[in-house]
Amino acid sequence: MGTSVKRIAISGYYGFNNSGDEAVLQSILLALQEQGERQGVTFVPVVLSVNPAETARTYGVEAVHRMKPMEVWQALRNADGLISGGGSLLQDETSPKTIPYYIAVIRLAQWMGKPVFIYSQGIGPVHRRLFFGWIRSAFQRSSFITVRDEESKALLGKMGISPSEVEVVPDPVMGLPMRGQPTQTPSGETKPVIGVSVRFWNEDRSELRAVAESLQVVLEKSDAVIRFLPFHLPSDEKASLYVMEQMGEIYKERLSLAREVTHPQDMLAEVAACQVLLGMRLHSLIYAASQYVPMVGLSYDPKIDQFLNRLGMKSAGTTKQPRSEDLAQETLGMLADGASWKRDKRQAIEQLKIEAGRPAERIASFFAKGRGMQ
């Protein structure tokens, strides 16, 4: 039997210079390729991106502008199916426009008779009850629903979606491989490297000042160096520079900033070169877990806690009550005994890596068999 070719549209938060979301896209593309090869399906991805030229150039795929209705219409009309995800697409914490956009893309595909695959999404927070019905209607007409944590599944249950229809899988980025080059510390650094991923959140910058104070303590009590890793450009780079400035001139020689790292696997290599990672960004923590790098989480959103829960961990603090002493203590503890953390978490991480490819496996099986999934 010959290999079948299937065009698959992919809808997500792509083209915005967010390393985490770009890593989601890269992970989905690689998983589709791998599972397609196993099951005799060649996938031709078409990505809905805010920067289609950059997306096409970076990943070698077709891309259309996600905000140009005719381009989206054409992409869906010519596709054999739609992937919605991954990432935190269906939430109204940051904007009330987010959920209507992603649901509209799903419903348009369904109106055209295309199968829709909900791919490892993180659902919520959803504050507006109006959106419950929208999400329920779109999801119940999808070929399958996979979410990245139990909390998302529970929220869908509150919306009226049966738990039996929802499968919990890891974030796709848990399956993102390294490019194959040996991991090197920045500039040949021989001292322990602590990676730091920060973002702006509190208007008074109290969370970033707490990070700066904690890092001062860490540097006073260790010989480590700090490597700031901006995941969302340019805002995270500005947040990193703010923390560096707060730390003062005395530590300047022990601080560095990873500039213009835009490809997900390049940032993955940066994280892999660290001995510990202190992160606010979800995908900084996911990168760290995938590379067995001990991590310390500062939570600004339930999704941080939900991911840490999957590894039997808790955040070292929250942006509502950032305590520099807790962040410093946790970071120093990980630095002193990272080997124990790796030993304790290895089995759980390996299982997450295996399960991360499950949605792509189901999509390939759907098209290989030419029928719907149970």
| pLDDT 10s digits, 183-216 | 555 556 689 999 999 999 999 999 999 999 999 9
Question: What CATH number is given for 186-352 in this structure?
Answer: 3.40.50.2000
Share of the chain above pLDDT 70, in %: 95
Q: Strands 81-87, 41-49: parallel, antiparallel or unpaired by DSSP?
A: unpaired
Q: What is the pLDDT of residue 33?
A: 97
- In this chain, the answer to whether the domains covering 4-169+357-369 and 186-352 adopt an identical fold is yes
Judge if pTM exceeds 0.85.
Answer: yes
Q: What is the pLDDT of residue 185?
A: 56
4-169+357-369 has CATH 3.90.1150.10 classification: no
Q: What is the pLDDT of residue 129?
A: 94
Confidence of residue 372 (pLDDT cuts 50, 70, 90): very low
Q: What is the pLDDT of residue 45?
A: 98
Instruction: Delimit the domains of the chain by residue range.
Output: 4-169+357-369, 186-352
Q: Is the pLDDT of residue 312 over 90?
A: yes
| pLDDT per residue as tens digits for the range 129-159 | 999 999 999 999 999 999 999 999 999 999 9
